[in-house]
Amino acid sequence: MATAALKGIRLWPRTLRARLFIILLAGLAIAHAMSFAVLFSERYVAARSVMFNTLENDVATSIAILDRLPAAERAAWLDQLARGSYRFVLGPGISGDTVLEPNDAEVAAKIQAAIGAKYPTKVESIPGPTRHLQAHLRLSDGEPLTIDVTPRGVMPVADWLPYVLVAQLSLLLLCSWFAVRQAIRPLANLARAADTLDPNSSTPRLAETGPTEVAYAATAFNAMRDRIAQYLEERVQILAAISHDLQTPITRMKLRAEMADGSAERDKLLQDLGEVERLVKEGVAYARSAHGKEEKASRIDLASFIESLAYDYQDTGKAVTIGELAGGAIVTRPHALRRILTNLIDNALKFAGSAEIEAQRQDGTVFIKVLDRGPGIPDDQLEAVLKPFFRLEQSRNRDTGGTGLGLAIAHQLATAIGATLTLRNRDGGGLLAEISLRQ
User: Domain boundary residue among 264, 290, 316?
Assistant: 290
Asked whether residue 164 is assigned to any structural domain, the reply reads no
Residue 9 domain flag: no
- Whole-prediction pTM: 0.48
221 and 314 fall within a common domain: no
Specify whether 408 is located in the same domain as 302: yes
Residue 18: inside a domain = no
- State residue 26 phi and psi, 5-degree precision: -65, -40
Please state, in angstroms and rounded to a whole number, the distance separating the CA atoms of residues 45 and 55: 15
**Distance in angstroms (rounded) separating the CA atoms of residues 83 and 89:** 13
Instruction: Kindly give the parts of the chain with pLDDT less than 70.
Output: 1-11, 51, 54, 152-158, 198-203, 239-240, 244, 260-263, 278-279, 281-294, 393-404
What's the pLDDT at 2? 47
Give how many domains the chain has, as a whole number.
3
Alpha carbon distance 373, 436 (integer Å) = 21
Same domain, 340 and 384: yes
Judge if 280 and 313 occupy the same domain: no
Domain harbouring 107, CATH code? 3.30.450.300
Same domain, yes or no, for 286 and 299?
no
Query: Which one of 149, 180, 209 terminates a domain?
Result: 149
Per-residue pLDDT, 294: 63
What is the domain extent for residue 73?
44-149
Q: Which CATH number do you get for residue 335?
A: 3.30.565.10
**pLDDT confidence of residue 255:** 76
Report pLDDT digits (tens) over 260-289: 666 677 777 777 777 777 667 666 666 666
Residues 429 and 328 in one domain: yes
Q: Are strands 355-362 and 320-325 parallel, antiparallel or unpaired?
A: parallel
Dihedral over alpha carbons 224, 230, 234, 236 (to 10 degrees): 90
Q: Do 327 and 403 fall within a single domain?
A: yes
How much is the pLDDT for 283? 66
Domain assignment present for residue 5? The answer is no
Q: Which residues contact 296 (CB under 8 A, 6 or more apart)?
A: 333
Q: How far apart are CA 320 and CA 356, in angstroms?
A: 6
Domain of 237, CATH number, reads 1.10.287
> In terms of domains, do 336 and 303 share one?
yes
CB 435 within 8 A of CB 420: yes
**Does one domain contain both 222 and 90?**
no
In a domain, 95, yes or no: yes
Q: What is the structure's pLDDT at 396?
A: 37
**Radius of gyration (C-alpha) of the chain in whole angstroms:** 47
In a domain, 202, yes or no: yes
* Residue 364 counted as domain residue: yes
211 vs 199: CA distance, rounded Å: 26
Do 429 and 360 fall within a single domain? yes
pLDDT at residue 422, as a whole number: 94
Does residue 314 belong to any structural domain of this protein?
yes
> Does 393 lie in the same domain as 360?
yes
Sheet holding 144-149, edge to edge: 86-90, 144-149, 133-138, 122-125
319 and 432, same domain (yes or no): yes
Question: Among 248, 274, 290, where does a domain finish?
Answer: 290
